[in-house]
Amino acid sequence: MNFKKFVSALTVFSFFVVGTAIYAAEQGEKTPAKVTKTASKQATKNKKNQSHSHEHSAMGEHSHGEGHTCPMMEARKNKDYVPSPSENTLNTMHKPMMGVAPSESGSVERDFLVNMVPHHQGAVDSSKLVLEHGKSKKVQKIAKNIIKAQEKEIAQFNQLLAGDKLQKTEISAEDYQKFLADNKKLSDDMMYAMGAVKPTDDLDRNFLEAMIEHHKGAVNSSKQILQYSQDKTVRKIAEKIIKDQEKEIAEFSEMLQNNTL
């Protein structure tokens, strides 16, 4: 091979090597980007499939996202599904409050009593189920006391509402909206806490656990109305609820802690 042919061959080879390197570099830059984009899409898809939201409704149920199933909810789809006594009791405690919208009458006194009626009714109805299905004599005695006390108060509240003799405390529109918003939050917090009690084979324990949160809801609503209402009757009712139900909360908590049901 003469010198000119050698130089020519070497030049062609050099262009080939450089071109290959440039092509490889360009592909090397494109490929990771392509792979990264694909991986990102897959990761997003996987995350979507794996993620789920646990939205607690007032019935203690969950709304599950894609890729997750709840045994309890799946079971309820079965036409032959029968809730356990504990689950039925917990649901019954919620039910009256779920059947009506919160009162927005323009009167904090009327709103307080209207909302307290279904709240008390849930305690009464669930207590009656404890008398049917509970095993603890102590808890059955508690249930009887709840039925007696809260049925009496329900009658009192309805009588006051029908008589329309409540003193309406005059507050600004802004303060009233704050009252409604705060009251809704108190109710939502109570329902969430009650819904967090999971039904088990121990109906008596589940009942007390949920009733503690139920009572806390009544106590908090009563403390709220004392910040607004000037009506002596309503204030007296609220003070009695706070006294009676804080005492029971302490009693129930001690029984659960010491396992003396």
CATH assignment of the domain containing 147: 1.20.1260.10
* Residue pair 133/89 in contact by the 8 Å Cβ criterion: yes
> 164 lies in a domain?
yes
Whether 77 is in a domain gets the answer: no
Residue 202 inside a domain? The answer is yes
Examine the pLDDT at 27 and tell me if it is beyond 80.
no
- Give the structural domain span for 229: 83-258
**Does any domain span residue 13?**
no
How far apart (Å, rounded) are the C-alpha atoms in residues 121 and 169? 26
Segment 195-202 shows an average pLDDT of 96
The per-residue b/e assignment along 40-70, b for 16 or more CB within 10 angstroms, e otherwise, is: eeeeeeeeeeeebeeebebbbbbeeeeeeee
Residue 22 is predicted with a pLDDT of 42
Count structural domains, the chain: 1
Distance CA 20, CA 38 (A): 26
Better-scored residue on pLDDT, 13 or 155: 155
Are the C-beta atoms of residues 171 and 107 closer than 8 Å to each other? Answer: no
User: What's the pLDDT score for residue 80?
Assistant: 72
Percent of the chain scoring above 70 in pLDDT: 70
Residue 153: inside a domain, yes or no?
Answer: yes
Question: What's the pLDDT band for 89 if we cut at 50, 70, 90?
Answer: very high
pLDDT single digits (tens) 148-179: 999 999 999 999 999 878 999 999 999 999 99
Is residue 93 pLDDT above 60, yes or no?
A: yes
251 has pLDDT over 60: yes
Asked if 205 and 261 count as a contact pair (C-beta separation under 8 A), the reply is yes
Asked if the structure places residue 65 within a domain, the reply is: no
How far is the C-alpha of 13 from the C-alpha of 22, rounded, in Å?
14
Q: Is residue 174 part of a domain?
A: yes
Written as one letter, the residue type at 57 is S
CA 220 vs CA 9, 204, 207: distances in Å: 93, 24, 20
Lowest-pLDDT range, 66-70, 121-125, 216-220?
Answer: 66-70
Rounded to the nearest angstrom, the gap between the alpha carbon of residue 120 and the centroid of all alpha carbons in its chain is 20
237 has pLDDT over 50: yes
Query: Which is more confident, 50 or 234?
Result: 234
Reduce the DSSP state of residue 26 to 3 states and report it.
Answer: helix
Residue 51 lies in a domain: no
**224: helix, strand or coil:** helix
Question: What average pLDDT does range 179-183 have in this prediction?
Answer: 97
Q: Average pLDDT, stretch 190-199?
A: 96
Tokens of 51: 């993620």
SS3 annotation, 47-80: HHHHCCCCCCCCCCCCCCCCCCCCHHHHHHCCCC
Q: Which pLDDT value is given to residue 45?
A: 43
CA–CA distances in Å: residue 239 to residues 61, 119, 223: 33, 17, 8
Give dist(CA 103, CA 24) in Å, integer. Answer: 72
- Residue 47 confidence (pLDDT): 42
Name the band, by pLDDT with cuts 50, 70 and 90, for residue 76. Answer: low
What average pLDDT score do residues 95-100 get? Answer: 92
Give the pLDDT confidence of 111-149 residue by residue, as tens digits: 999 999 999 999 999 999 999 999 999 999 999 999 999
